[in-house]
Amino acid sequence: IVCQPAKILNFLRRQKYNADYELTAKQGADTLAYVALLEEKLLPAALHTFWVESDNYFTVTKPWFASRIPFPLSLILPGRMSRGALNRILLTRGAPPLYQLQEVEAQIYRDAKECLNLLSYRLGTSQFFFGDTPCTLDAYVFGFLAPLYKVRFPKVQLQEHLKQLSNLCRFCDDILHSYFRLTLGGTPPAGPESVDANLRKLTQLVNKESNLIEKMDDKLRQSPQLPPRKLPTLRLTPAEEESNSFQRLSP
């Protein structure tokens, strides 16, 4: 069993699946740097939006997770995840002179908005972060942005900010449309038209890779010590189920 996105990516690489064939060394280095940026600046705010903000947590996240976990764990685990998230935020960002939780919150949301702006500048007008084919960084960014973009929360300040960055929204929509609206066994997603067998295999592998990363994206927001079998199933499912589940959850 493999958990945490970085470990999954390493595991897949050892199995010879790799979306980064065509990246230069510098682009590989950039990937590592942007991943660090996301983890440092965006993750605390994402954790806060999902697990700490009480309106969001009690109306959306907790019922959602609890519905997939067997009783009596459904009473214990979401609370534990929430406390773990708050702990992580306070330990990493709650250093003095930010003594009040509101000040810490203000700071992490400010950092997250700045991070989203930076991602938007970096993406510019291209389809993916390194040209026309997706790679690990695209999968990673998508894993962070898509839940923030799509899940309907009562308190939505980060989502509002994200919606103003049209190129990031277009990026999420493109990937959702290409890789998640079709079943895994279906035809390869829209990309450069080619009958080259290798290219088709590559796109299928990227498909699988980003799917797996999405699945384990829940893990990223939770305590790393939790065993994976207690996790709920994939959140982003094919179109019909997706719209149904969102309608069920919105108040």
Partner 1 sequence: MSLVAEAFVSQIAATEPWPENATLYQQLKGEQILLSDNAASLAVQAFLQMCNLPIKVVCRANAEYMSPSGKVPFIHVGNQVVSELGPIVQFVKAKGHSLSDGLDEVQKAEMKAYMELVNNMLLTAELYLQWCDEATVGEITHARYGSPYPWPLNHILAYQKQWEIKRKMKAIGWGNKTLDQVLEDVDQCCQALSQRLGTQPYFFNKQPTELDALVFGHLYTILTTQLTNDELSEKVKNYSNLLAFCRRIEQHYFEERGKGRLS
**Which residues contribute to the site for partner 1 (CB under 8 A)?**
4, 25-26, 28-30, 32-34, 36-37, 39-41, 87-88, 91-92, 95-98, 103, 106, 110, 118-119, 121-122, 124, 224
Amino acid at site 115: C
Shortest distance (Å) from residue 41 CB to partner 1: 7
Nearer to partner 1, 128 or 153 (CB): 128
Nearer to partner 1, 41 or 161 (CB): 41
- Cis bond leading into 72, ω under 30°? yes
Shortest distance (Å) from residue 182 CB to partner 1: 32
* Measured CA distances, 145 to 23, 97, 120, 148, 251 (Å): 23, 30, 12, 5, 22
Nearer to partner 1, 72 or 124 (CB): 124
Nearer to partner 1, 104 or 202 (CB): 104
249 touches 152 (CB < 8 A): yes
Spatial distance between the Cα atoms of 152 and 147, rounded to a whole number of angstroms? 9
Nearer to partner 1, 30 or 242 (CB): 30
Spatial distance between the Cα atoms of 121 and 117, rounded to a whole number of angstroms? 6
Shortest distance (Å) from residue 157 CB to partner 1: 14
Calculated CA dihedral for residues 152, 47, 108, 236, nearest 10 degrees: -40
Kindly report the three-state secondary structure assignment for every residue of 45-68: HHHHHHHHCHHHHHHHHHHHHHCC
Shortest distance (Å) from residue 144 CB to partner 1: 14
Shortest distance (Å) from residue 81 CB to partner 1: 13
Nearer to partner 1, 21 or 71 (CB): 21
Shortest distance (Å) from residue 19 CB to partner 1: 18
Spatial distance between the Cα atoms of 127 and 134, rounded to a whole number of angstroms? 8
Helix (H, G, I), strand (E, B) or coil at 128: strand
Q: What is the DSSP letter of 228?
A: G
List Cβ neighbours of 25 (8 Å cut-off, separation of 6 or more). none
